[in-house]
């Protein structure tokens, strides 16, 4: 017994000496990024890190707050680089922290949306050390959103060597069990915005305002549950083309997409809430007319949606779409039943039509029409925060029920 203990102690000693040796060796090999320069061009910015060795890198953008992220491996980073004060139009507040195993993250806050145009590393020459350059250019909010996240990174070849899945895989993937236990991602889309006011109510209420308030209030309610991660397609009064709203949902890898709208009709008496899902054939004339109206948002803003119908109809053919439609319908039914407990809903509350905004092939998506702004009573109700909160709470109940089913 004693001999065994002595033996184990000896092994532990050998292991700890070896571990120490490894740390020393790694340390001796690791180079250091010890300088940062930021150069301003015309509408562009070049960021240059100087290092005394080569290293692996990954560069991408994130939002909330908007930032440029540079992950590096196999190199140390001097905290001095965060003191850089080079004048430029894009970057401010540099932070250096750790990121995963052996990784260091350098983050820059963005003053405006940018795209990573190019990254490259130059070996030592002409008295310079190793240099790693990132070229940035200005972009609009829409393209910035479309390129968010590490899946759109520019990186050294070996940075992702441990990744099993190919990068930028366009085929919708089945969620693995580990992903299923993660937080559910919900994207809420406030209909219309910017130059497109949507429907205009009996007393002049803009649909885009009601949808925006409701989206924020719904996010607030959903945020109370730590199992959900909630994003909005727009955080302010902004025009976003319909296909880009779909892209945003896919970009976030959403588990559920809820597009919020409010209806209007010539008949002032028309009222009630309804829930729509995507279908190639509309459930009735009214649904068809509504889809046509909502799809016009892009035309209002001077974009021709017709150019994209081919692309969208191709996607529609995929099997993923059919599976997604089943999930969308399930959620729409749950939502309709929760809503009908608390407010006036239209008959056959869950309806079908060809809404462009519901065409993400792999994201269960519904369109919620809160009621008729053309009806003076409903317009008045929809303007009240208390009423919208009630709708938000019922929606949360439906979301909870939907995700209780392990297949979602
Ligand atoms: Zn609308």
pTM of the model: 0.54
CA of 326 to the centre of ligand 1 (A): 23
Length of the chain: 408
CA of 124 to the centre of ligand 1 (A): 58
CA of 139 to the centre of ligand 1 (A): 27
CA of 200 to the centre of ligand 1 (A): 10
Task: State which fold the 179-404 domain adopts.
Answer: Aminopeptidase (3.40.630)
CA of 296 to the centre of ligand 1 (A): 9
What's residue 247's pLDDT?
85
What's residue 23's pLDDT?
42
Among 136, 171, 141, CA closest to 59: 136
What's residue 322's pLDDT?
67
CA of 371 to the centre of ligand 1 (A): 11
CA of 402 to the centre of ligand 1 (A): 24
The 3-state secondary structure of the chain, one letter per residue: CHHHHHHHHHHHHHHHHHHHHHHHHHHHHCEEEEEEEEEECCCEEEEEEEECCCCEEEEEEECCCCEEEEEEECEEECHHHHHCCCCCCCEEEEEEEECCCCEEEEEEEECCCEEEEEEEEECCECCECEEEEEEEEECCHHHHHHCCCHHHCEECCCCCCCCCCCCCCCCCCCCCHHHHCCCEEEEEEECCECCECCCECCCCCEHHHHHHHHHHHHHHHHHCCCCEEEEECCCCCCCCCHHHHHHHHHHCCCCEEEEEEEECCCCCCCCCEEEEEECCCCCCHHHHHHHHHHHCHHHHCCCCHHHHHHHHHHHHCCHHHHHHHHHHHHHHHHHHHHHHHHCCEEEEEEEEECCHHHCCCCCCEEEEEEEECCCHHHHHHHCCHHHHHHHHHHHHHHHHHHHHCCCC
Among 280, 384, 386, 405, CA closest to 333: 405
CA of 264 to the centre of ligand 1 (A): 9
CA of 143 to the centre of ligand 1 (A): 23
pLDDT averaged per 10 residues, the chain (length 408): 60 55 46 89 85 88 92 89 89 88 87 90 76 89 88 77 36 46 90 92 96 97 96 92 86 93 92 88 78 74 46 43 82 96 91 83 90 97 98 98 92
Instruction: Please name the residue that has the structure tokens 């046509």.
Output: 292
CA of 70 to the centre of ligand 1 (A): 39
CATH number 3.40.50.10090 given to 30-155: no
CA of 291 to the centre of ligand 1 (A): 9
CA of 268 to the centre of ligand 1 (A): 17
Report the distance separating Cα 133 and Cα 288, nearest Å.
52
Do domains 30-155 and 179-404 share one topology? The answer is: no
CA of 289 to the centre of ligand 1 (A): 12
| Residue 173: exposure state from Cβ atoms within 10 A (0-12, 13-18, ≥19) | exposed
CA of 84 to the centre of ligand 1 (A): 47
Longest pairwise C-alpha distance within the chain: 94
Q: What is the dihedral of CA 381, 383, 384, 389, to 10 degrees?
A: 90
Q: Where are the domains of the chain?
A: 30-155, 179-404
Cβ neighbours for 326, distance < 8 A, ≥ 6 positions apart = none
What's residue 15's pLDDT?
55
Instruction: Please name the residue that has the structure tokens 């056959």.
Output: 348
CA of 162 to the centre of ligand 1 (A): 45
CA of 206 to the centre of ligand 1 (A): 10
> Residue 228's beta-bridge partner residues?
184
* Residues 228, 330, 189: CA angle, nearest 5 degrees: 50
CA of 199 to the centre of ligand 1 (A): 6
């Amino acid at each position: 017994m004693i001999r065994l203990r002595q033996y184990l102690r000896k092994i532990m000693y050998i292991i700890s000496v070896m571990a120490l040796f490894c740390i020393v060796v790694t340390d001796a090999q690791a180079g250091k990024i010890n300088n940062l320069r930021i150069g301003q061009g015309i509408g562009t910015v070049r960021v240059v890190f100087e290092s005394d060795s080569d290293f692996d890198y990954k560069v991408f953008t994130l939002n909330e707050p908007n930032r440029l992220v540079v992950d590096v491996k196999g190199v140390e980073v001097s905290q001095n680089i965060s003191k850089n004060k080079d004048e430029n139009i894009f970057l401010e507040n540099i932070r250096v922290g750790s990121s995963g195993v052996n990784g260091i993250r350098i983050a820059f806050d963005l003053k405006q949306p940018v795209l990573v145009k190019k990254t490259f590393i130059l070996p030592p020459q002409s008295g310079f050390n190793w240099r790693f350059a990132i070229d940035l250019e200005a972009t609009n909010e829409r393209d910035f959103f479309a390129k968010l996240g590490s899946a759109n990174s520019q990186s050294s070849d070996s940075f992702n060597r441990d990744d099993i899945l190919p990068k930028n895989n366009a085929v919708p993937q089945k969620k693995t069990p580990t992903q299923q236990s993660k937080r559910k991602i919900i994207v809420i889309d406030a209909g219309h915005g910017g130059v497109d006011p949507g429907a205009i109510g009996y007393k002049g209420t803009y649909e885009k305002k009601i949808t925006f308030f409701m989206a924020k209030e719904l996010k607030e309610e959903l945020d109370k549950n730590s199992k959900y991660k909630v994003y909005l397609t727009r955080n302010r009064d902004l025009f976003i083309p319909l296909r880009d709203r779909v892209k945003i949902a896919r970009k976030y890898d959403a588990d559920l997409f809820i597009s919020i709208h409010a209806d209007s009709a010539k008949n002032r008496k028309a009222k009630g809430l309804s829930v729509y899902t995507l279908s190639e054939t509309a459930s009735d004339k009214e649904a068809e007319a509504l889809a046509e109206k909502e799809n016009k948002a892009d035309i209002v803003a001077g974009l021709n949606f017709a150019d994209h119908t081919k692309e969208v109809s191709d996607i529609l053919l995929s099997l993923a779409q059919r599976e997604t439609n089943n999930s969308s319908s399930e959620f729409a039914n749950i939502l309709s039943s929760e809503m009908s407990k608390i407010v006036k809903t239209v008959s056959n509350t869950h309806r079908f039509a060809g809404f462009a905004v519901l065409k993400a092939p792999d994201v269960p998506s519904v369109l919620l029409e809160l009621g008729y702004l053309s009806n003076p009573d409903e317009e008045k109700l929809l303007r009240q925060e208390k009423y919208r909160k009630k709708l938000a709470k019922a929606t949360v109940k439906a979301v909870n029920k939907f995700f209780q089913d392990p297949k979602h």
